[in-house]
Every structure is written in structure tokens, then in C-alpha cells.
A and B are shown apart, each in its own frame.
Chain A
């Protein structure tokens, strides 16, 4: 079974630009969560999608948005990039508890964003 796939793995942007990151979950997983990881703030929850609906959202500004498609693939977008947005963005999929899962998250390898 293929794991969680994130693209691109590395990217460099400049301040003010926008970026879109993509995540393909494990087949059969309908829940996709996004996290931002930085040395200073650690792992911070961005949002979670299930069946194309955002069910949960962390404490991030509106510049951070996401969506989920009918095939469970998800994208997140960051607009008007700031230097502080430089981070490793991790996507994780899971079999939702409501469908028999235990909430375990399966992570991709991440997309490392550098904002110059």
C-alpha cells in the first residue's frame, strides 16, 4: 500500500508570493490533516479535512487555506508569503475513528518551504 505522498518536497519562494502544496493520502483514508513544523514553534496543527469538509482548524491566519477533493487528495495554499512561513509542512492521513480507525496519523515526508 502506497504511503502519503507530498509534492513538491522542496520549494523556494519570495515574500508576497503564494504557494500551493499537494498531498495524496493512503488509499481508503478520507481524513487529511496538515501541520506546520518549525524549530521555534514545533508541530502546529493547521487544519483537518474529511470528505471534502474542513472539520477542524488550528490558530493560523486566513492566509492559510486548504481544500480536499472527492478522491481525498488535499491541497493547502499560503498566500502573501512571509519570512516566518518558512517551515516543513507535513500532511497526514488517517482512517477516521467514525469509520473504525483509532486516530493514528500516517505522515508524508513533508514539503520544505523556504521564503526569501
Chain B
């Protein structure tokens, strides 16, 4: 069975500061890993994904994440936070059977950006 743990339900940073959102996964098979962002009253939008190619993945809006198998982690970072980054972020894992889309999400981390 696969699962995702996001450390910290709330993260607050100042505008211009580093953003670091933590995600650890457990999976019995090599997983696909994703980060999604959700703005209020909207669906989820894909930020980036790891699908067993490069371990450092670059996404939209200046975000990136590094897959570290030894640490079973897939932390999301952004060098400089912007006010528009305030949202909820979800880490997700998909793996298991090749024929199933069985994506499971972490509990989410709400990012607040202070001016």
C-alpha cells in the first residue's frame, strides 16, 4: 500500500523567503510522485511530477522538487515566495498496479505568505 505524509499542516513565510514544504512517501513499488496546488473554491492544479526520469523536477511558478529515494522524500521548494503562492499544497503518490490510477494524497499544507 502506498501513502504520503506531509509534515506541517501550516507553513508561514515572508514574501521573498524560501518556501520548503515537506513530503515523505511509502510505497511498495517505485512510485510516481506529484505536487498539486489548490486555490480557494477551485480544483487541484498540477505543479510538477516525478516519473522516474530526473530526480530534480522543475514545475510551474518557479517551484521544484527533488526525489530522494534513500530518504523516501519529495520536498517542494521555491527560492523566493510571492504573495500569489498562498494556497494549499498537496503531495500525492501513484504507483501500484500499472493499470490503475490509484493516486493517494497527503493531508495538505496551507502556505501563508506574509508581506
Contact = CB atoms under 8 A, between A and B. Distances in A.
A4 interface: yes
Contacts of A97: 98-99, 101
A31 B101 contact: yes
Select the residue from B41, B98, B103, B106 with max chain A CB neighbours within 10 A: B103
Q: Give the secondary structure class of A's interface.
A: strand
A89 B90 CA distance: 16
Contacts of A24: none
A5 to B, nearest CB: 11
Contacts of A112: 41
B70 interface: no
B51 interface: yes
Contacts, number: 69
Interface string B66-99: 0000000000000000000000001010100011
Interface string A41-66: 01101001010000110000000000
B46 to A, nearest CB: 6
B28 interface: no
Select the residue from B45, B46, B105 with max chain A CB neighbours within 10 A: B105
Interface stretch (A14-22, A74-82, A101-109): A101-109
A105 B32 CA distance: 12
A70 interface: no
Interface string B18-31: 00000000000000
Contacts of A48: 100-102
A33 interface: yes
A105 to B, nearest CB: 6
Interface of A: 4, 31, 33, 35, 42-43, 45, 48, 50, 55-56, 90, 92, 94, 96-98, 102-110, 112
Given A105-B92, A110-B43, 16 more contacts: A33-B103, A45-B102, A45-B103, A48-B101, A50-B101, A55-B99, A55-B101, A56-B101, A97-B99, A102-B32, A102-B51, A103-B32, A103-B94, A107-B43, A108-B43, A109-B43
